Structure 1
């Protein structure tokens, strides 16, 4: 059957075959089964009493002159009505079946042959492959029938609010005036192709690459896609391998449809005018996107293609929830899969669900505009705050990974660097560090914070130094989170002042650098809010601390701070 609404056993829908030569049903609907007994309790006809009605409807598929076939079908009907129960009871294998297992009976040779089955099935499909027979056109000169598509489409004839009330549809109104309210139809041949595709794809989830490029007016390219996919049945290359092979073969990848079919659903079917596999950084004049190591984690990334970006960057950005490297070495991409929120944080789950379609379009359809500056900021800053709030020992490393990515690639999504108040961070971050160094130098009496960015960076440094004074054995960055929640500068400074009072006993009275930094930060009047300066606060917090640098104050303080510096470097 095509679906339960197109059987010959309506309204019960328990016989799922649709042929004069076949009978198929689940064990639970047969004599003694749970569904069978329920029918008896409800005073309804059980399946064995409806077999005659089923065959009477199926026999209508035969033509009037096919008398031999009709007699064969009647004999099969008689056997199923009178001898099937005894046959099943005699089979030891029958008792081993579960209630949901199918029992399928086929009438074999010499009574009928495979062409007989095909002929009957073709007649069933010609009528039933459309949504409804009521809107079918009469056969044209080529014996083609046109109707409403049943491929992932419904028909709302029983729901007036789904119908067009005023649209002038109906190109076939002259041939079928009753069908003039239909906007479009497909041929019975196309309906058959769609049904064959559905049956094929549903048998094996890996029978097609996901997604699958279908090139328009390019049979040679389509044949090459099939050849690449079938080269090694054990590997079954995916979209990445196919497109990389086509690019290496000198093909321009444009003008194709992209199909993503998964779990009996068309997840995506869209036109791609041009696919650009390469990543070029025009501002840096490089043929790759590069993530610099700005926070001392000994990791740099180089992405030459969108697929490198997917496995190297998106894996980190979404904390392994969207792109996963499995133990086998294979990659799993969760663009359309169900994601269990218990295996990731609430923030990560929200980011994946909100932005994964945009990233899918970015990677697979070259829609670079899909990721806006605001989206890029939300993804990275939300992920950073999530790592800051985490308590595991790797949270700080993950935060620095995301900061490296955020600062290094921002200009590629945000051409004017609006997210960083117009600054190109790979070069501006060293300037912030140098500026802080000059501020804390021994001869820096006349040096002061000059910009909001300097202030936010210095505040991040001060926060780290204060929280470092905590006597907690297992220090985490979780203590930073309350500062990041402040909505205005006054509340932010109040939190700083309270933290200074909390840890003042642990800070040397002769620590000139600390006094200088605290005075400058608490005395600066920022024009921007802490939220607008959040990225700079984080940069200051995760940068090497200028307060642990070598200094010329009291010898006893120098020894203590030298030890603290070594600890800080180890943590970094």
Structure 2
């Protein structure tokens, strides 16, 4: 998997150099200080605050003319904090041309002259870091560093000492705001090639997960990468016990640097929230999108799902064949229940004909999941800030299938999942008293059923039933129901009418649960009788419409299994018993 990604990345890197990474690089939040060498002294030339707005993804400080320079300096001065040169991990940089600390270290006593001196001692004599013991790990690290030093030359001790002295004399009295827990990063303005050289001096010996696992084959060093990988004495289960070399994954010293740069590149995307990455190996393209965004052209290639943690993590990987941004046919989102167009529970613009995958995601996200879907495809269940139990459980049940359909074009199993969760969500909305919301959900459910399965349109079914029932409940002589569809729709209408007689401030829609969840007709009729008895004190016992409807329901014996959809449809539809004579004449 990773090899295929790296081939595309290497092509782009060869074409553009490290600028390919720098173009999207995001420094950590903090205050950045540029110090300019002047003859035998130094002078602060500029102080820049850099912040990433997590909501808008805008970077304050990016418009500064020195922003690109800072990105390059920063990139070549950063090392995994677990491998920091300062054993106390107070100083976070790995390059004597820079100096990184958390601002709070200046006020909480963590940064001392001793820590500064120890830091520069390691920088002046790197072998101190690697030759502190005689174990295999230290021996391998020493061997790697000696190879690096042969290529780069020895450290410029004179420059290092002058920078150490400036830091010790000035770090505690810089006359800048040091409040907050973000970074203070100081860069001495030397040529970028110097930064690259000194960054490489400490990057290469520390680039592997642990030098303990390194092996040498024909003068090439092979080791375990540090990206999305961990292996130590506490994780023996990660070893491949069936091989002579138990380390699960080994790469040589040239590929390891390429892989490191690739993960640096991915981290840039993850920091911006662009966590869905599409890698096209034919056209050598890499595109990344935020949650809710989708490719706008056909795609075949590799898909990666990222998460930003202490490092960038790959949480999902797949090979995509035949992804298309357009639906195979348009989704007609119909207002089946004829909801009042002035309803503000959903944007009316959501109804209509839609032809893009992103359109169907938008409607499912808002109507079914109250906008909780697109940002929570991969959220840990315990971290979901959803109080509605039905919404949360159905999100967890369906999100993987929906993600694979919407983002990868894999439609296996999507209709059974949507069919199940949509009805469950409607029932949950009714139980909570969210009737307008449940009505929109019913409309989308049956629009999707028609999209996937075709058949007779539910809008036509309900329209025909209402026309027929309207005549029957207004008849002077009690009529009879002709089929199961009429019967179950009528049950929903009657339950809605009975519950509307409640004297409570809030209508008890949860009492509809036994009916919309009913699976046995005899039980449904028995519960209807009890509900009738409960509210009979307030009924107009001589009401023609109610009496006709109730009598027809009690007298009908259904032939097929309970149709919960039509009970729900009857419950959510405008009630025919309350219909005015004017409406009756118009609709009739």
- What is the SS of the residue equivalent to 1:304? strand
**Which residue pairs with 2:256 in the alignment?**
191
Task: State the distance in 1 between where 2:556 and 2:380 align.
Answer: 49
CA deviation vs aligned residue, 1:142-184 (integer Å, no higher than 9, x gap): x76433232222224442233233x24x6xxxxxxxxx22343
**Which residue pairs with 2:565 in the alignment?**
535
How much has 1:488 moved relative to structure 2?
4.7
CA deviation vs aligned residue, 1:72-98 (integer Å, no higher than 9, x gap): 237625873x664333345333xx324
The reply on whether 1:504 has 2:581 as its aligned counterpart is no
Task: State the distance in 2 between where 1:64 and 1:517 align.
Answer: 89
Change (3 A) 1:474 1:563: farther
How much has 1:23 moved relative to structure 2?
4.5
How much has 1:48 moved relative to structure 2?
4.2
The reply on whether 1:314 has 2:392 as its aligned counterpart is no
Equivalent of residue 237 in structure 2, options 161, 167, 185:
161
Equivalent of residue 447 in structure 1, options 457, 480, 485:
480
Determine which structure has greater relative contact order: mean sequence separation of CA pairs < 8 Å that are 6+ residues apart, divided by chain length.
Answer: 2
Task: State the distance in 2 between where 1:64 and 1:538 align.
Answer: 73
How much has 1:513 moved relative to structure 2?
4.1
Change (3 A) 1:79 1:255: closer
Whether the 8 Å contact between 2:481 and 2:487 is mirrored in structure 1 is no
**Which residue pairs with 1:362 in the alignment?**
405
Equivalent of residue 54 in structure 1, options 119, 122, 128:
122
Q: TM-score, normalised by structure 1?
A: 0.70
How much has 1:310 moved relative to structure 2?
1.7
Q: What does 1:410-425 align with in structure 2 at a 5 Å threshold?
A: 410-413=449-452, 415=453, 425=458
Task: State the distance in 1 between where 2:503 and 2:180 align.
Answer: 64
Q: How many residues align?
A: 480
Whether the 8 Å contact between 2:99 and 2:185 is mirrored in structure 1 is yes
Change (3 A) 1:352 1:46: farther
**Which residue pairs with 1:42 in the alignment?**
none
Q: What does 1:71-470 align with in structure 2 at a 5 Å threshold?
A: 72-73=156-157, 76=160, 80=164, 84-93=167-176, 96-98=177-179, 100=181, 102=183, 104=185, 113-138=191-216, 145-165=221-241, 167-168=242-243, 180-202=245-267, 210-219=275-284, 222=285, 243-244=295-296, 246=297, 253-263=298-308, 264-280=312-328, 287-297=329-339, 298=341, 300-322=351-373, 333-336=375-378, 345-373=388-416, 375-391=417-433, 395-413=434-452, 415=453, 425-433=458-466, 436-437=469-470, 440=473, 442=475, 447-448=480-481, 450-451=483-484, 453-470=485-502
Whether the 8 Å contact between 2:222 and 2:252 is mirrored in structure 1 is yes
Change (3 A) 1:460 1:100: closer
**What are structure 2's unaligned runs of at least 5 residues?**
1-77, 128-141, 342-347
Whether the 8 Å contact between 2:487 and 2:553 is mirrored in structure 1 is yes
- What is the SS of the residue equivalent to 2:156? helix
How much has 1:366 moved relative to structure 2?
0.9
Whether the 8 Å contact between 2:518 and 2:564 is mirrored in structure 1 is no
Task: State the distance in 2 between where 1:429 and 1:79 align.
Answer: 81
Whether the 8 Å contact between 1:145 and 1:188 is mirrored in structure 2 is yes
Whether the 8 Å contact between 1:147 and 1:185 is mirrored in structure 2 is yes
**Which residue pairs with 2:26 in the alignment?**
none
Task: State the distance in 1 between where 2:199 and 2:305 align.
Answer: 29
Whether the 8 Å contact between 1:259 and 1:269 is mirrored in structure 2 is yes
Task: State the distance in 1 between where 2:188 and 2:467 align.
Answer: 87
How much has 1:533 moved relative to structure 2?
3.1
- What is the SS of the residue equivalent to 1:303? strand
**Which residue pairs with 2:75 in the alignment?**
none
How much has 1:288 moved relative to structure 2?
0.9
Change (3 A) 1:526 1:131: farther
Q: TM-score, normalised by structure 2?
A: 0.68
CA deviation vs aligned residue, 1:309-336 (integer Å, no higher than 9, x gap): 122343212122235xxxxxxxxx5434
Task: State the distance in 2 between where 1:29 and 1:409 align.
Answer: 57
- What is the SS of the residue equivalent to 2:320? strand
**What are structure 1's unaligned runs of at least 5 residues?**
38-44, 171-179, 230-236, 247-252, 281-286, 324-332, 418-422, 550-560
Change (3 A) 1:348 1:509: closer
CA RMSD, Structure 1 to Structure 2 (Å)? 4.2
- What is the SS of the residue equivalent to 2:301? strand
Whether the 8 Å contact between 2:481 and 2:556 is mirrored in structure 1 is no
